[in-house]
RNA sequence: GUGGGUGUAGCUCAGGUGGUUAGAGCACCAGAUUGUGGCUCUGGGGGCCGUGGGUUCGAGUCCCAUCAUCCACCCCA
């Protein structure tokens, strides 16, 4: 217990950090190009924010939150998602008073008390974006394309975008009633989960994996055919914008997202290489979220992408990740040359911007060579009695095995040139 | 929260029907003309057999519980 990471959490060890930096770097780069700026919010918030923002009847809130009391008796919750906190920050700092729209992105850990599974963790990481203060359909397209280009940038090819419109408060509630009427006769034939959904969230029945439920809803009317004028126009415009960009997508009228706040556009990006948790990311428009948590009526839209899943998909698709090389040079000693002498030389190289290190365990020259080889260091500097007497050092190229004598005074310049050439 | 699989060395795994000091490969460390890596050879360090109970003369092996992990459901990223 003592030396075990808690359930559903894990360490990202040095050999894997490079992949994370690559993915996070891609996200930042893509966002910069798309005109988004980074925002960082706390990892915990007042519990009420999620109760009201995400919705009390959602699974996230009803059974997956890490909620605790602090010493001041406040109920706090480790953020289960990023949209509500960013929306809160936007309101708190009255960013609606500035030039609109506000386009931001975030990268960081989220927490959900779920049972761990392939691609699902209790602490996981999301990259997400939010746009506040613009309800134009081209914003919807902007957001979706950013997500797609991000995945492409990672080298993923098995990526599918599914789009739907879940309507607004007006047309959705009308459709919901219609759907319940249509399904009234068939409720008994649905699976246990769907029987429950019939009352709580009938739209979700359309999304059920159960084949039987799918059959029973075969001829039921779809949301997309019952949108109000405004929502229908918006949805058409979103699709037009995507078409104009030549982006492919699948209209899935059965797509329903789990969070309460979505309106109009809802989308999900999936990969078939992921197993049961096939969703790489998802998002949508939330035109009433801000007012729900106490702000003015301001439209918003965003997405969240699971970084672990992106990494998993990259692994499954065998995408090679460019990893930055570590050390440029390793300083080895032979004979009676002291460790402090080696440290001084190492430091001299570092001061010139060369990534260098030395042996700290008093190992034999042979062992030092072996170490440098394992660490894939290109250049080895050998400091020995003979060299030092002459004010020289031996520089060995580990790649082709050649070596030459270089004067101590010219060592830095010599290596700088070698390292530059090697890169 | 529900169902199923699995827990033996750092990693991947062997250890028929319970029976002496629990093994292999890889990894790690050290040697093989005392100043030179990769290949090869030799040797070495490492194991509360997940944990706690129970059955038994005797448990890595059987039973129960528990924890962890994996997969699926639910849900989602």
Q: Which residues pair with A66 in a beta bridge?
A: A78
Q: What is the pLDDT of residue A398?
A: 94
Specify the nucleotide whose C1' lies closest to residue A385 (CA).
B35
Interval A184-209: pLDDT, tens: 888 888 888 888 888 888 888 888 88
From the CA of A41 to the C1' of B29: give the distance in Å.
47
- Does at least one atom of strand B sit less than 7 Å from the CB of A386? yes
Same topology for domains A14-168+228-316 and A329-418, yes or no?
Answer: no
CATH code 3.30.870.10 for A329-418: no
Confidence of residue A413 (pLDDT cuts 50, 70, 90): very high
**Residue A400 scores a pLDDT above 70:** yes
Q: What is the pLDDT of residue A210?
A: 83
Mean pLDDT of the residues in chain A: 93
Confidence of residue A86 (pLDDT cuts 50, 70, 90): very high
Average pLDDT, stretch A114-130?
A: 94
Q: Which of A353, A403, A350 is nearest to A381 (CA)?
A: A403
From the CA of A1 to the C1' of B47: give the distance in Å.
19
**Residue A259 scores a pLDDT above 80:** no
**Residue A284 scores a pLDDT above 90:** yes
Specify the nucleotide whose C1' lies closest to residue A124 (CA).
B77
- Does at least one atom of strand B sit less than 7 Å from the CB of A338? no
From the CA of A6 to the C1' of B58: give the distance in Å.
38
The A 133-192 residues near strand B by Cβ under 7 Å are none
Q: What is the pLDDT of residue A31?
A: 98
- Check residues A261 and A411 and name the one with the higher pLDDT: A411
Topology classification of domain A14-168+228-316? BirA Bifunctional Protein; domain 2 (3.30.930)
- Does at least one atom of strand B sit less than 7 Å from the CB of A341? no
The A 182-211 residues near strand B by Cβ under 7 Å are 193, 197, 204, 208-210
From the CA of A121 to the C1' of B7: give the distance in Å.
20
Q: What is the pLDDT of residue A1?
A: 60
Specify the nucleotide whose C1' lies closest to residue A128 (CA).
B77
Domain ranges of chain A: 14-168+228-316, 329-418
Q: What is the pLDDT of residue A325?
A: 67
Q: Tell me which nucleotides of strand B come within 7 A of a protein CB.
A: 1-3, 28-31, 35-38, 67-77
The A 75-104 residues near strand B by Cβ under 7 Å are 81
Q: What is the pLDDT of residue A169?
A: 85
From the CA of A6 to the C1' of B53: give the distance in Å.
25
Confidence of residue A306 (pLDDT cuts 50, 70, 90): very high
What is the 3 state secondary structure string of chain A? Answer: CCCCCCCCCCCCCHHHHHHHHHHHHHHHHHHHHHCCEECCCCCEEEHHHHHHHHCCCCHHHHHCCEEEECCCCCEEEECCCCHHHHHHHHHHCCHHHCCCCEEEEEEEEEECCCCCECCECCEEEEEEEEEECCCCHHHHHHHHHHHHHHHHHCCCCCCEEEEEECCCHHHHHHHHHHHHHHHHHHHHHCCHHHHHHHHHCHHHHHHCCCHHHHHHCCCCCCHHHCCCHHHHHHHHHHHHHHHHCCCCCEECCCCCCCCCCCEEEEEEEECCCCCCCCEEEEEEECCCHHHHCCCCCCCEEEEEEEHHHHHHHHHHCCCCCCCCCCCCEEEEECCCCCHHHHHHHHHHHHHCCCCEEECCCCCCHHHHHHHHHHCCCCEEEEECHHHHHCCEEEEEECCCCCEEEEEHHHHHHHHHHHHHHHC
Q: What is the pLDDT of residue A237?
A: 98
The A 207-236 residues near strand B by Cβ under 7 Å are 208-210
- Does at least one atom of strand B sit less than 7 Å from the CB of A335? yes
The A 106-125 residues near strand B by Cβ under 7 Å are 112, 114-121, 124
Q: What is the pLDDT of residue A333?
A: 94
Specify the nucleotide whose C1' lies closest to residue A384 (CA).
B35
Average pLDDT, stretch A58-74?
A: 91
Q: Contact, A408 vs A321, CB < 8 A? A: no
Average pLDDT, stretch A238-260?
A: 93
From the CA of A282 to the C1' of B72: give the distance in Å.
22
Specify the nucleotide whose C1' lies closest to residue A366 (CA).
B36
- Does at least one atom of strand B sit less than 7 Å from the CB of A365? yes
Interval A311-352: pLDDT, tens: 999 988 988 887 766 899 999 999 888 889 999 999 999 999
- Does at least one atom of strand B sit less than 7 Å from the CB of A25? no
């Amino acid at each position: 217990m003592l030396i075990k990471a808690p359930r559903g959490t894990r360490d990202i060890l040095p050999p894997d950090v490079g992949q994370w930096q690559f993915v996070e770097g891609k996200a930042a780069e893509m966002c910069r190009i798309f005109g988004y700026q980074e925002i960082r919010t706390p990892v915990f918030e007042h519990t009420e924010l999620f109760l009201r923002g995400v919705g009390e009847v959602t699974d996230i809130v009803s059974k997956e939150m890490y909620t605790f009391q602090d010493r001041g008796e406040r109920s706090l919750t480790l953020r289960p998602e990023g949209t509500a906190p960013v929306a809160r920050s936007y309101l708190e700092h009255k960013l609606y008073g500035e030039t609109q729209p506000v386009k931001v992105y975030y990268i960081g850990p989220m927490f959900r008390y779920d049972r761990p599974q392939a691609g699902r963790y209790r602490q996981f990481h999301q990259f997400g974006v939010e746009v506040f203060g613009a309800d134009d359909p081209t914003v919807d397209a902007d957001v979706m394309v950013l997500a797609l280009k991000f995945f492409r940038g990672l080298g993923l090819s098995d990526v599918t975008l599914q789009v739907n419109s879940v309507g607004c408060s007006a047309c959705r509630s009308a459709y919901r009633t219609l759907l319940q009427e249509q399904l009234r006769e068939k409720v008994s034939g649905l699976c246990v989960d769907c029987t429950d959904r019939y009352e709580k969230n009938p739209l979700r029945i359309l999304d059920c994996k159960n084949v039987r439920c799918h059959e029973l809803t075969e001829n039921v009317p779809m949301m997309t055919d019952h949108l109000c004028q405004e929502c229908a126009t918006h949805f058409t415009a979103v699709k037009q914008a995507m078409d104009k960009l030549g982006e492919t997508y699948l209209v899935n009228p059965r797509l329903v997202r789990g969070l309460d706040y979505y309106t109009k556009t809802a989308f999900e990006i999936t990969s078939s290489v992921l197993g049961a948790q096939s969703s790489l990311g998802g998002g949508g428009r939330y035109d009433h979220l801000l007012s729900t948590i106490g702000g003015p009526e301001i439209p918003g839209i965003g997405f969240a992408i699971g970084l672990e899943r992106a990494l998993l998909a990259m692994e499954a698709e065998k995408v090679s990740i460019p990893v930055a090389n570590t050390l440029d040079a390793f300083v080895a000693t032979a004979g009676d040359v002291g460790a402090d002498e080696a440290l001084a030389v190492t430091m001299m190289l570092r001061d010139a911007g060369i990534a260098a290190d030395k042996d700290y365990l008093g190992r034999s020259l042979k062992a030092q060579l072996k170490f440098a080889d394992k660490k894939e260091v290109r250049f080895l500097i050998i400091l020995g009695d003979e060299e030092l007497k002459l004010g020289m050092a031996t520089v060995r190229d580990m790649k082709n095995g050649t070596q030459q004598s270089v004067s101590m005074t010219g060592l830095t310049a010599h290596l700088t040139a070698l390292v530059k050439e090697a890169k």
